[in-house]
Amino acid sequence: MTPTDPTAVPGAAKVSKVWWVLTAVAFVLAFGLGIGGCAQFISQNSTTDQSVEVPGRGVVTVEETETYEIRYQSNQFFDTGVCRSETRSTGAGSDNGFSSTTVCGADLLAAEGEPTLRVAGQDRIRLTRSPDSLLRINDRITVSVWQARLDPGEYELELADAPLGTERLVFESQAVELGSALLVILSVPVFLIALVLLIVTLLRSSSRRNRRRQAAYPQAPPSGWGPPAQPTPHGQAPPPRPAPPPGWGPPPRPEQPPPPP
């Protein structure tokens, strides 16, 4: 038979392992949701832009029924007056600073005429103005100008001239996939639950170690405590004290020389 530890708490080791396993599973789930959601969000929203050089014509493809934008892109929009930088003062006193903002007039580009978008051999599709938005990367600026809701298929996109220095038309969907973002949001409470489980597990483990340590090394009672001394029967001498171990006790006294005669 295997000897048992008298100081062990029944079922404590099993409970401790269960808590550690739950904590590990919660952390793995939280990191999996966060990393997987970020990767899925990036892959869903980083599709390759379709573009057409202007002046010119090209074919663009629509895979799902959605609203698509036609954006004007160029490095010359500052030179042609489409875009400008506005500098604003921020803060006051010693914290005073300046911030620069790029402002573009999409109406100036729209006034130059809209591009032609059609299914091959059919009438052109009516375009509407899109919400104002822009993307600036160094000197390259992309401005949203037109939009249309399209069904799946191939379309011809054409712009006969290059208004105000436009170099290309960018054709892109307005849809943003948010399903993967929910995974990232869900990972936050799961991570908090994992932290709580970790703290609880550490506290339980520390308490169990303290109980085992106290059970293995009981403290000595204070001086004066303990069972009372047994009385000695009348007429009998008390029992002799046990002899101390060798080397214990007071040192021997030196022998005195005899007195002179």
pLDDT tens digits for range 58-111? 999 998 888 999 999 999 999 999 999 888 777 666 666 778 888 999 999 999
Predicted confidence band at 221 (pLDDT cuts at 50, 70, 90)? low
Is the separation of the CB atoms in 75 and 83 below 8 Å? Answer: no
> H helices within the chain, ranges in order?
12-44, 106-111, 179-216
Same domain for 77 and 17 = no
Determine, yes or no, domain membership for 222.
no
| Residue 152: DSSP 8-state | S
User: 141, exposed or middle or buried, with CB in 10 Å at 0-12, 13-18, 19+?
Assistant: buried
The domain of 201 spans 12-42+181-214
Question: What is the spatial distance between Cα 176 and Cα 253, in angstroms, rounded to a whole number?
Answer: 102
Same domain for 118 and 19 = no
Same domain for 201 and 109 = no
The tally of domains found in the chain comes to 2
Same domain for 170 and 54 = yes
Higher-scoring residue by pLDDT: 161, 183: 161
The single residue listed with the structure tokens 């029992």 is 239
Q: Which of 175, 204, 235 is the last residue of a domain?
A: 175
Same domain for 57 and 37 = no
Quick one: pLDDT at residue 231? 60
| Residue 156 pLDDT exceeds 90 | yes
Predicted confidence band at 149 (pLDDT cuts at 50, 70, 90)? very high
Same domain for 55 and 33 = no
Q: What is the pLDDT of residues 233-253, one digit of tens each?
A: 665 666 666 666 666 666 666
Same domain for 56 and 142 = yes
Determine, yes or no, domain membership for 1.
no
Is the separation of the CB atoms in 53 and 167 below 8 Å? Answer: yes
Of 103-107, 155-159, 193-197, the least confident: 193-197
| Residue 1 pLDDT exceeds 50 | no
Determine, yes or no, domain membership for 232.
no
Determine, yes or no, domain membership for 86.
yes
**Average pLDDT score over residue span 164-185:** 78
Same domain for 69 and 18 = no
* 145 contact partners, CB below 8 Å, separation of at least 6: 70, 71, 72, 106, 109, 110, 129, 130
